[in-house]
Amino acid sequence: MYLLKRYEEKKVLVTGGLGFVGSNLALRLAELGAQVHVVDALLPGCGGNRFNLQPAGDRITVSIQDLRNRDFIEQAVAGTDLIFNLAGDVSHLGSMEDPEHDLEINCRAQLALLESCRRANPSVKIVFASSRQLYGRPLSLPVNEAHQVEPVDINGIHKRTAERYHFIYGVYGIRATALRMTNTYGPRQLIRHNLQGFMGWFIRQALLGEEIVLFGDGAQLRDPVYVDDAVHAFLRAGVSPAADGQVFNLGHEPVSLLTIAETLIAICGRGSYRLEPFPPERRLIDIGHYYGDYWKAERLLNWKPQIGLEEGLRRAVEYFREHGEHYL
């Protein structure tokens, strides 16, 4: 498989590499023979977890560092072939409660990384983990990359700002790709609290046999992507010159929140759900149905999701059953 060859011996930096998607990506890169350097600040609430890289032993170098530490980051990016930039905070509600914190993590830290690249490695390629959140409330479905960008929360605004930073730095030679991720789920996800999306929240509650609360009628559609599929998109984007300067949606067959809850309850053999009206602070930033059109990724990256919802949730539940003490 061509990817395997492309990553052999490559020097790769993964920011946010102790987090959910970052750690799964780092582990896969190490399997592919890359020299992987993970940088993670382990900021509270951002999902970093040292246990996530436990399978790698000492094959992955880990630095607990903040992207805003310019001296360190300049050294880290110098000589790197490729940066997978997954550091960030993904909480929508949190960004409304503390927008200045979100600004620090999702804008200033990104600018600091790019400034380091400009100085120490201006020809590097960066794949940036962006978010479908920046579209806001869909005007039409599925949402493609030409859809208007009208974020409904500060996190979405800042993700868009950070995307733009990456492309602006093209004037210095930096090649960038942004993947607009949709709800991702699977092993190593932060499931301890409810601030990193409903997938981790539902998984935790089903595992613990609790009652999952669905807001509204539970019919809202989403397109959850299993983490291995998301990782695959990053790997493709990292070695595809056609991806330079481009944004791509990830996506999957749409499914309702109710179906996701029911599937989880069936897999776990426990738990339940109930419907409840939206709390006002969530209503304000709710986006209704969302599912993305990932035809552009299919065409230019030869990517599409391989893992169905039931299979993905089964793998996630198995992982957390085995390693629950590190996540609950």
> What residues make contact with a copy of itself under the rule CB under 8 A?
99-100, 103, 107-108, 111-112, 115, 151-154, 157-158, 160-161, 164-165, 168, 171, 284-285
Shortest reach from residue 150's CB to a copy of itself, in Å: 8
Q: Residue type at 170?
A: G
Shortest reach from residue 157's CB to a copy of itself, in Å: 5
Closer by beta carbon to a copy of itself, 157 or else 235: 157
- DSSP assignment letter at 274: E
Shortest reach from residue 162's CB to a copy of itself, in Å: 10
Closer by beta carbon to a copy of itself, 244 or else 298: 244
Shortest reach from residue 285's CB to a copy of itself, in Å: 8
Closer by beta carbon to a copy of itself, 285 or else 309: 285
Angle at 62 between CA 58 and CA 68, to 5 degrees: 170
Residue 240, CB-side half-sphere exposure with 13 Å CA sphere? 22
List, in sequence order, every residue forming a beta bridge with 226; answer none if it has no partner.
185
Shortest reach from residue 288's CB to a copy of itself, in Å: 16
Structure tokens at 261: 């809850």
Q: Report the greatest alpha carbon distance in the chain.
A: 54
Closer by beta carbon to a copy of itself, 215 or else 319: 215
- Provide the CA 96 distance to its chain's centre, in angstroms: 19
Please, are residues 111 and 123 in contact by the beta-carbon 8 Å criterion?
no
User: What is the secondary structure of 193-238 as a DSSP string?
Assistant: SSTT-HHHHHHHHHHTT-EEEEETTS--EE--EEHHHHHHHHHHHH
Closer by beta carbon to a copy of itself, 112 or else 255: 112
Shortest reach from residue 213's CB to a copy of itself, in Å: 22
What are the E-state strand segments in the chain?
Answer: 11-15, 35-40, 60-64, 82-85, 125-131, 175-181, 184-185, 211-215, 221-222, 225-226, 246-249, 255-256, 272-276
Closer by beta carbon to a copy of itself, 6 or else 108: 108
Closer by beta carbon to a copy of itself, 161 or else 256: 161
Shortest reach from residue 244's CB to a copy of itself, in Å: 17
